[in-house]
Each structure stands twice: as C-alpha cells, then as structure tokens.
Chain A
Amino acid sequence: MLRVVGAASLDELVRVPDAVAIAGPLDVPPALPEMELGAKLRGYAARNTAVDYISFLGAGAYRHYCPPVVMSLAMRGEFLTAYTPYQAEVSQGYLQAIYEWQTYICRLTGLDIANASVYDGATALAESAIMTVNATGRHAILVSAAVHPNYRTVLRTYARGLDLDIEELPIDADGRTDFSNLDARLADKRFAAVVVQSPNFFGCVDAPGERVQAAVKSTGTLIIGVVAEAMSLGALAAPADWGADIAAGEGQSFGNPVAYGGPYVGFIATTKEHMRRIPGRLVGRSVDNRGNTAFVLTLQAREQHIRREKATSNICTNQAHCALVATIYLAALGATGLRRAAVLNLERTAALAATVTAVPGFSRAFAAPVFNEVVVRVPAGATAAQVLAELQTQGILGGVDLGRWYPQLADCILLNATEVTTVAEIDALGAALARFAAQEKSALHVASR
C-alpha cells in the first residue's frame, strides 16, 4: 500500500509535526502477566468505597430492586448482540419486545401510541417540545421551574438551534408549579406547550387540575407531562388523566440499575392526533402473507433515513436494550407487583420524612404530597452542604443539595427512599442528623455565652 500511495515508510505517510509529537517512548509501565494485571485492577477497584455508603440520592436516578429473572433473560446473546436491526423485520423477536414496551408505556401513561424509546427522559422532553412546535406552528415553550433542572438544560440546548423561546413558570410555597398567573401568560397564544412534571423535581405530586388543564387547552396550547420517576406510575394517576397530550419520561427505574450516570431509556407517548409527529422508531403489529402475526416498523415517513431533509428529529437508533430490560421487568412484576412496589416507595418515604423531621431543627420545606422524594430544610444557620458533608464522614450520602440549582433553597436537601431503603438505614440517618443537631445546638450555646 505504501508503494501505491508513493510513501517510503509508514512514518513518512503519517508524519506528526514535531511541535505536537511526543518525544521518546510513552511513559507507561511495562506489560504485566494477566494474573498480576487482574490482581492490580482488583486492588484499584477495592478503592471504590461508594458501594458501602447508605444512599438517599435520587433526583432523577433511582435505586430499585430488580428480580434476577430480568437480567438472566435480557443478557441472552440473541438480545445482547443485536444492535438496531437494519433489516428490521428479520428480527421478529426484537420487534415483538419493542412492541410490548410500547404497549406497556401506553398503558402506564394512558395515551394511544408510544415509540421504541429515546435516549433518556431529558431528550424525550426536548423531542416532545419539537412535536408541539410542529403541531401548533408556535415557537415558545412554557416550562415549570419544578421540572428536573437537567431536563430543562437539555431542552434549552435543543431550543437554541431551533430558535425557540423557553420561559418558566415559578414554584409556589407548597413546592408545586405556581399557575396563578397562567391565564395572562397564555393570553397571546404564543406557547406551543406547557411543560409540567409529576412527581416534580421536589418529589411533589404536581399534576395540573381541571381548571389549569382547561385554561391551557382553551388557548390551543398543548400539555407535555414529564415523568422522571417511572415507578410513580404504579401508584399515581397517568399523565393522560391530568391532561397530557404528550408524556415524556425516564424509564430507568424499570430494571435498569444506577451505574455511574447511565445508560438511561426515555419514553414518549402521545394521542392518536399527534402520532405522525412522534420521532424515532415505531413498531406495529400486522399479518404476513400467510396470515400469521408479524411485527413491522411503521409510520417511518418522518424518520431521517426516509426523507432526510424533512426529518423532524435526529433520533435514529434508540435505547433498545434498556427498553428490553424495562419490558421484562414490567412483565415480571405485572400490574399488581408494580403497584405494590410503588406503594412500598410511598411508605418508606413517609417513614423517612417522619424520622428526619423528628430531629429538632429539621423540617419539611414543602407541604404538597410526595411520591418517593422529600425536601427537608436544615436547621437555621446551617447549609445543606454542611449537613451533607457531615453525613458523608459517617458513611451516609444524605441526599442532594438543592442550592446547586435553586439558590433560594440552599438550606434544603432532596432525599429519596425506595423499596430498597431499609428501616435500619433510615434510623441511621436519623441518628446522624440528631448528632449534627446536638453539635449545632452546643456550638450556638457556646457562641451566645
């Protein structure tokens, strides 16, 4: 090949300028035998201590129990080795699995049609916003400040390229979206959609009531219902029941572990009216030429491989394997099992809230009912960051510092409890907070003398 291209040597062909070339050999240790390398890596792995922490972290990433049957099926080679099938109809098994995922998402959201999944909840929201822009011809989105901050950031990223205005609705004193000024905001009919999340970022049930739904719809504005904690769908009303034209959410809670930031699996569901605007792949059930049930990709006209210049989205692949895990998880639990798991989340969170607020100085920041997260205000004079740092020294990841996104809530912590949170862990948190409160009190006492 060198002769063909007229180069004398490989070095001549790929000549790296001296200014950027590394002089001398690379500074890497000598090669190790496989067994020694294994031992060395195990040593590094042992330095990870996070697994030993008691965790109350949630905020969009949730720990749930996953029955072993889920992974033993999902990890089968037939599923694991299949990337997006390009000759899709050959992979009837995978298409059936995707069809079942779509069916579950429709049942959980109460909507007519769901796609084969998107990257995550945040991109599901952004893609849904684009759907509403295309449906209404309007170029602004009104989003509640109680929607997950990262979701709103991704929405703004998408909006920048499309030249959409993103405006926010404030939060009320109870931790829910403040709709009091809604009519005035909607009056000029420039918003394509109002975006609300329930449970919202503070864990509060934030489904808009009938008056709000009617006010939004009367201006031709659509409602996007965001669900960042899919487990809540086992206990709370479906987005369709609170007026959502589109449900955009995160399905990680269904069998997908929290693993250093991913992978996640987003879902989008909508009404029949908007089905032709839904991005990504859709699987439909049909019959083949012998009358047997067959699964096919359908409604592809807006996908980029059919009409590239008219595509409404750049989603071409999806989180098929994560969606498969979620599908098997839902099949394993069934409707009754999912409901029981969701109710356990409610119970553990109630226990968590009761234990934490029993500690002097700690109180609930918001009065609205919650699902599996609760916002706690730390004692006066302390910050959330101080409390969390102290808990961490005692082996407890005590939640998320809300000051990171909401400056006015710098004395507030967002705590999560799920069915895997034990009573002993909640008691350990309560004891650690009590020690913190006692120290604060004696420090104050000293200071006032």
Chain B
Amino acid sequence: MAQPDGLLYSKEHEWLKVDGEVATVGITDYAQNSLGDIVYVELPRVGQTIKQFASIGVVESVKAVSDLFTPIGGEVTEVNAALEADPALVNRDAFGDGWLYKVKLTDPAESSHLLHPAEYDAFVTEGAH
C-alpha cells in the first residue's frame, strides 16, 4: 500500500503536510479504512495551542470512538468546517478534502519525530501481519 509522497506520518495514523510555517493535518487512508464509516469528528478549537503527540479530539465511527492525536505542536489556525455537516469526507478523501485542521508550527524540528512515506508504509504493513 503506497502512501502519498510529500507528507509526514505519525504512528497514530495522522498525516502532516508542511507548507512553510503552517501544516495541514489529517488521518491516513489506512486509519479511515480501519475505523469504518465516520459519523463525527471532534476537532480542536481555532486558537488552541496543542502539543506534539497529545490527545486533542475524537473520531467517532459506527464501530469505534478513537482519540485524535497531534502529529506536531503549534497553534490551531483553521479547522475543516465541512466535516461538521459531512464527516464522511474523511472516508472519501482522507488525504484531500477530509483534512482536519491547520496548525502554525511551534518548532518545525518536531517533524523529525515523524515517519516518511516508505517508513509509514512499512509500519502499517507490519501492523497488518
């Protein structure tokens, strides 16, 4: 299962796309597929300061409720308002329209704790066995 290039990944199955000082965060296609039909996403508040690898929300699917962890620390600048009316966007397009929130990075060096596509791919393949 190839993972999109240009993104960084956490072992909690979040992805991160860094664009200068701001990064966009979502959950991976592997994560949405494991969760099943997503019915609700509880997002952080705009303006909220978040720390790397902290639990800041939940993703609720028809079969489970899972914590949402932060792949990186910073200040939340925007949340994907479309998810309120249509949380299944995460199922349909986890790496695109189903993004969760944007964060202004506190320390870009934190991204060194994250996985590159090939590493994450190996991680999920290993986990599948």
Contact = CB atoms under 8 A, between A and B. Distances in A.
A307 B66 CA distance: 10
Contact of B48 (A137, A306, A307, A310): A137
Contacts of A306: 65
Contacts of B101: none
B40 interface: yes
Task: Tell me what chain B mostly uses at the interface: helix, strand, loop, or mixed.
Answer: strand
A333 to B, nearest CB: 37
A126 B42 CA distance: 23
A137 B65 contact: no
A310 B60 CA distance: 13
13 contacts: A137-B45, A137-B48, A276-B40, A276-B42, A301-B40, A301-B58, A301-B60, A301-B65, A306-B65, A307-B65, A310-B58, A310-B65, A310-B67
A301 B58 CA distance: 10
A42 to B, nearest CB: 56
A221 B48 CA distance: 16
Could you say which of A276, A301, A306, A310 has the most chain B C-beta atoms within 10 Å of its C-beta?
A301
B59 to A, nearest CB: 10
Interface string B37-50: 00010100100100
The 8 closest A-B pairs by CB, nearest first: A301-B65, A301-B60, A307-B65, A137-B45, A276-B40, A137-B48, A276-B42, A306-B65
Contacts of B67: 310
Nearest to B60: A301
Contacts of B65: 301, 306-307, 310
A333 B58 CA distance: 43
Nearest to B45: A137
Nearest to A306: B65
Nearest to A135: B45
Interface residues of B, number: 8
A99 to B, nearest CB: 20
A137 B46 CA distance: 12
Q: How large is the interface on A (under 10, 10 to 19, 20 to 34, 35 or more residues)?
A: under 10
Nearest to A301: B65
Given A137-B45, A137-B48, 4 more contacts: A276-B40, A276-B42, A301-B40, A307-B65
Contacts of B45: 137
A137 B76 CA distance: 14
Nearest to A300: B65
A15 B58 CA distance: 52
Interface in A289-344: 301, 306-307, 310
A276 B65 CA distance: 12
Interface in B40-78: 40, 42, 45, 48, 58, 60, 65, 67
B87 to A, nearest CB: 12
Contacts of B40: 276, 301
Contacts of B42: 276
Contacts of A301: 40, 58, 60, 65
A276 B87 CA distance: 14
A396 B102 CA distance: 67
A301 B63 CA distance: 11
Interface in A260-305: 276, 301
Contacts of A137: 45, 48
Contacts of A307: 65
A13 to B, nearest CB: 46
A136 to B, nearest CB: 8
A287 to B, nearest CB: 16
A324 B45 CA distance: 38
Contacts of A276: 40, 42
A350 to B, nearest CB: 48
A137 B44 CA distance: 10
A276 B58 CA distance: 11
A277 to B, nearest CB: 9
A89 B87 CA distance: 27
Contacts of A310: 58, 65, 67
B116 to A, nearest CB: 32
A307 B55 CA distance: 14
A143 to B, nearest CB: 24
A276 B40 CA distance: 9
A283 B23 CA distance: 40
B80 to A, nearest CB: 17
A66 B60 CA distance: 43
B47 to A, nearest CB: 9
Interface in A126-151: 137
A83 to B, nearest CB: 26
Interface in B1-49: 40, 42, 45, 48
A218 to B, nearest CB: 16
A433 B60 CA distance: 63
